[in-house]
Amino acid sequence: MQRARMLAWELPRLGWDVEVLTPRASEVRQDVVERDAGAFFAPDVRTHEVGSMARPLLEALGSRSHGWRTLLSMHRRGSALIALERYEEALESLRRAI
């Protein structure tokens, strides 16, 4: 989240519209959640938060990582957002940069 948070301040200055896809705070281990972090985030950035789809199963298997628990949800929401075709220009720009 740190890189996305920092880029969200800089990319609009370069003409980019920024949106962030992230796990909900309730999915992250509570000992690493910064409760007063709101001031660190760019105010006009659209944020898409997702929960997990298989949390009970993954916790039963011993997973403590929100990354694994939210992987499918992140993929689904990201795919749905890309399907809206708002991101085609940005994706093409990234492809050229890589």
Q: What is the mean pLDDT of the chain?
A: 77
Position 79 scores a pLDDT of 87
Q: Report the domain count for the chain.
A: 1
Q: Is the pLDDT reported for residue 15 higher than 70?
A: yes
pLDDT (average), residues 27-51: 76
Q: Confirm if 39 and 64 have CB atoms less than 8 A apart.
A: no
pLDDT higher than threshold 80 for residue 29: no
Is 21 in a helix, a strand, or coil? strand
Mean of the pLDDT values across residues 33-39? Answer: 69
What is residue 97's predicted lDDT score, i.e. its pLDDT?
64
For the cut 70, the answer to whether the pLDDT of residue 43 exceeds it is: yes
Domain extent, residue 6, equals: 2-97
Per-residue pLDDT tens over the stretch 50-94: 888 777 777 788 877 777 778 888 888 888 888 886 666 666 666
Burial (CB count <10 Å: 0-12, 13-18, 19+), residue 89: exposed
